[in-house]
């Protein structure tokens, strides 16, 4: 990476971490995937019941494989052979898990996490339920403010997820949100997490690399 651009990104990470901490969230900068796993060993007690919200970042960073190790009791929504009803049961159990893992559609430099969800199963346990919430993001998810976060979802996260899921929504064809109104819309619940009641419940781990979308 160009060293000048890296210096800018590091400044943005610093701003973001300070703002998240002001909002009672713990924030960590992580250099790479190996350091990420070491940090998770510190943050997540062995034997914890853990589960995840849908996330490409968790696959790309190796976190899904890490959670499948015998160290944890992993409620695995991706387990082969699960029926749709069983997947819903896993979603519901997330509320009583010890630790919920997810990425975020955007993290603002003024300390907010912004997420848009179709079913709500990813954003709901971020708000309430699990004792601990671990959010893992590449630094590509950092944006200036809430307006930029909304725009990021409309221009990047949601269209890319629609393509990934193979859904015939108009954003997959145009590359931009077209405010579709059909049954296959994936943008239904818009959640902004700000100053938290419980200090440290939400932990944001920012990687100095790009992951997910
Ligand atoms: S509202 Fe519809 S068109 Fe817009 S990003 Fe979401 S799924 Fe795509």
The CA–CA distances, whole Å, from 92 to 72, 75, 164 equal 18, 10, 24
Sign of the Cα pseudo-torsion (62, 64, 68, 69, in order):
positive
Long-range CB pairs of 151-157 (<8 Å, 24+ gap) are: 152/105, 152/106, 152/114, 153/105, 153/106, 153/114, 153/116, 153/177, 153/187, 156/213, 157/105, 157/106, 157/116, 157/213
Nearest CA to ligand 1 atom 4: 177
pLDDT of res. 70:
83
Residue 55 C-beta-side C-alpha neighbours within 13 Å: 30
Which distant-in-sequence residues (6+ apart) come within 8 Å of 171 by Cβ? 158, 159, 162, 177, 178, 180
**Among the atoms of ligand 1, which is closest to the Cα of residue 185?**
7
Along the chain (213 residues), what's the average pLDDT of each consecutive run of 10 residues? 92 98 98 97 97 97 95 95 97 97 98 97 98 98 98 97 95 96 97 98 97 96
pLDDT of res. 1:
81
Nearest CA to ligand 1 atom 5: 177
pLDDT of res. 18:
98
Pocket lining for ligand 1, CB < 6 angstroms: 154, 158-159, 162, 169-171, 177-180, 185-187
**Among the atoms of ligand 1, which is closest to the Cα of residue 158?**
5
């Amino acid at each position: 990476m160009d060293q000048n651009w890296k210096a800018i990104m590091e400044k943005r990470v610093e701003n973001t971490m300070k703002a998240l901490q002001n909002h009672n969230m713990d924030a960590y900068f992580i250099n790479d995937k190996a350091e990420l796993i070491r940090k998770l060993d510190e943050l997540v007690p062995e034997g914890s019941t853990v589960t995840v919200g849908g996330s490409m970042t968790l696959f790309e960073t190796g976190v899904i494989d890490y959670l499948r190790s015998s160290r944890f009791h992993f409620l695995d929504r991706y387990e082969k052979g699960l029926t749709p009803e069983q997947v819903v049961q896993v979603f519901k159990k997330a509320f009583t898990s010890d630790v919920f893992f997810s990425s975020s559609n955007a993290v603002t430099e003024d300390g907010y996490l912004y997420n848009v969800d179709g079913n709500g199963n990813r954003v709901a346990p971020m708000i309430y339920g699990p004792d601990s919430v671990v959010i893992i993001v590449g630094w590509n998810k950092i944006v200036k403010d809430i307006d930029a976060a909304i725009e990021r979802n409309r221009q990047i996260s949601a269209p890319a997820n629609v393509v990934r899921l193979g859904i015939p929504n108009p954003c997959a064809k145009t590359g931009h949100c077209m405010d579709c109104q059909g049954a296959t819309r994936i943008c239904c619940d818009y959640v902004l997490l700000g100053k938290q009641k419980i200090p440290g419940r939400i932990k944001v781990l920012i990687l100095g690399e790009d992951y997910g979308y």
